[in-house]
A and B are shown apart, each in its own frame.
Chain A
Amino acid sequence: MKKLACLGLILGAGFVSGGCIDEPERRIDFACADREVFVNFVSPMMERRCGTLDCHGHDQRPMRLFGELGLRHPQELNQTGGDSTTARELDANYRSVCSIEPEKTTNVALDPGGQSVNKLYLVRKARGQERHKGGKVFDPFDDADRCVVGWLRSDNPRAIREACQAALNKLPDTVELPEAPAP
Chain B
Amino acid sequence: MVRGKFVSRTTWLALAGLVMAAGWPACDYDPVIQEAIEDLPPEDPDGPSEFHRAGQSCVDCHSAYYGADPDLAIGGTVYEQQSNGSLDPVEGVFVTIFDSAGASQKACTNSAGNFFVRLEDWEDAKFPLAVQVGNRYMRSLIGRDRSCAGCHELATQTKVNIDPTVDPSTGQSRTSAGAILVERSTIPIEEQCGLNPASASSSTTTSTGSGMGGSGGMMGSGGSGGGS
Contact = CB atoms under 8 A, between A and B. Distances in A.
Interface of A: 48-50, 52-55, 58-59, 69-74, 76-82, 128, 132-139, 142-144, 170-173
B172 A79 contact: yes
A166 B137 CA distance: 20
Contacts of B174: 71-74, 76-80
17 contacts: A52-B141, A53-B175, A54-B142, A54-B151, A69-B140, A72-B174, A79-B165, A80-B175, A82-B172, A136-B222, A136-B225, A137-B219, A137-B225, A139-B221, A172-B141, A172-B218, A173-B139
Contacts of B224: 128, 135-136
The B interface, classified by DSSP as helix, strand, loop or mixed, is loop
Contacts of A138: 221
B213 interface: yes
Interface string B78-104: 000000000000000000000000000
Contacts of B212: 172
Contacts of A55: 143-144
B127 to A, nearest CB: 7
A140 B226 CA distance: 21
B45 interface: no
Given A79-B165, A172-B212, A137 B223 contact: yes
A172 B225 contact: no
Nearest to B219: A170
A128 B225 CA distance: 10
Interface residues of B, number: 37
Interface of B: 127-128, 130, 137-145, 150-151, 164-165, 167, 172-178, 212-213, 218-228
Contacts of A139: 220-221
B127 A80 contact: no
A133 B220 CA distance: 19
Contacts of A80: 151, 172-178
A112 B175 CA distance: 37
A132 B225 contact: yes
Contact of A136 (B141, B145, B221): B221
A12 B224 CA distance: 56
